[in-house]
Amino acid sequence: MLNFEIPKASFPISSSILIPQTEPFELVDELIDASENHAISRFTIPGNHILLEDNELQESGILENMAQTCALHSGFISTTFLNKDESRNEGLKIPVGYIGALNDVEFYQRPLCGEILETHIKVQHKIGTASVVACEVFLKSICIAKGSLKIFIVENNRA
């Protein structure tokens, strides 16, 4: 784990300043809490999202929501500690990550358009630029999906 304290942050933080994804493929709206080894995101499913099928968010969308919550955490850590005085508009490249593996991913329910997802992630292991992250997606306090992602972050993200 990292060995520093998180400065006080004002939550929620818009996802648009912390992740590289943009519309129409954004599957997180805001970061509502974060620390050195965890993050919580919120996402209201729009009625016109490209990953809806019969008004339900497909499993691929739920999985991408998990991954983008991991990206929010990486962006939060990067911008909070490494680039405090910069923003996306001033040359900061938000960290880009790739899913290396999925483990024990389970889907219990497809959420409907208009519903609000709350996704919780916890960094279980971190070695260099690789992390193993446990993820849980909640709808009205009920877990609708969970799994573990191996994420690899690309280094040297300066413009």
Closest Cα partner for 81 from 155, 157, 17, 4?
4
**In the prediction, which pLDDT does 117 show?**
98
pLDDT band at 21 (very low <50, low <70, confident <90, very high): confident
Label residue 55 by pLDDT band (50, 70, 90): very high
Residue 43 to residues 29, 49, 116, Cα–Cα distance (Å): 5, 12, 5
- The pLDDT value recorded for residue 20 is 84
Residue type present at position 122: K
pTM of the shown model: 0.87
45 neighbors 115 (Cβ within 8 angstroms): yes
Average pLDDT of span 88-104: 76
Residue 155: phi and psi, rounded to 5, are -85, 175
Domains parsed from the chain with CATH numbers:
13-153 (3.10.129.10)
Judge whether residue 159 has pLDDT over 50.
no
Distance CA 57, CA 60 (A): 8
Per-residue pLDDT tens digits for 109-158 = 999 999 999 999 999 999 988 999 999 999 999 999 999 999 998 865 54
Q: Is 84 helix (H, G, I), strand (E, B) or coil?
A: coil
